[in-house]
Amino acid sequence: MDYLKAFLVGGLMCVVGQILIDRTKITPARILVLFVVLGCLLGGLGVYGKLVDFAGAGATVPLPGFGYAMSKSVMAEVDKNGLIGVETGAFKAMAGGVTAAVLFSFLASLVFSAKAK
């Protein structure tokens, strides 16, 4: 049952993203940013945590889950260190993911050659 919940919630997020790509003039990059910001906002309001409890990886793996993880870390750091936690919390939470993205992008650039369209 957990797999079904994860599949349905994660799939629904993907469907919403695809509808936005197909039916609007919003660029995919802006849709990605919108999803991360929505994850931050819903995480800060306590709504996204309930979705994570329900769907597990179906809610944490898509882009709103990135925003949720960031908001969760920022709130914990603010409670611990005060207002400076707004910056330090985001850096602590996302350092590993951003480092991996940069590293693997660099390695891919060494293996493949980009071609202009």
Residues in Cβ contact with 27 at an 8 Å cutoff, skipping those fewer than 6 apart: none
Tens of pLDDT, residues 107-117? 999 998 877 76
- What's 65-80 look like in SS3? HHHHHHHHHHHHHHHH
Tens of pLDDT, residues 78-105? 999 888 888 888 888 788 888 988 999 9
**Tokens read off for 52:** 């994570």
Q: How many domains does the chain have?
A: 1
Q: What is the pTM of this model?
A: 0.78
CA atoms of 94 and 8, how far apart (whole Å): 26
Query: Residue 109 in contact with residue 102, Cβ under 8 Å?
Result: no
Instruction: Judge whether 117 lies within some domain.
Output: no
**Residue 88, pLDDT score:** 86
pLDDT at 54 over 80: yes
Q: Give mean pLDDT, residues 33-59.
A: 93
Instruction: Judge whether 52 lies within some domain.
Output: yes
By residue range, what is the domain housing residue 73?
Answer: 2-111
In sequence order, what E strands does the chain have?
none
Instruction: Judge whether 66 lies within some domain.
Output: yes
Tens of pLDDT, residues 16-32? 999 999 999 999 999 99
Rg (CA), the chain: 16
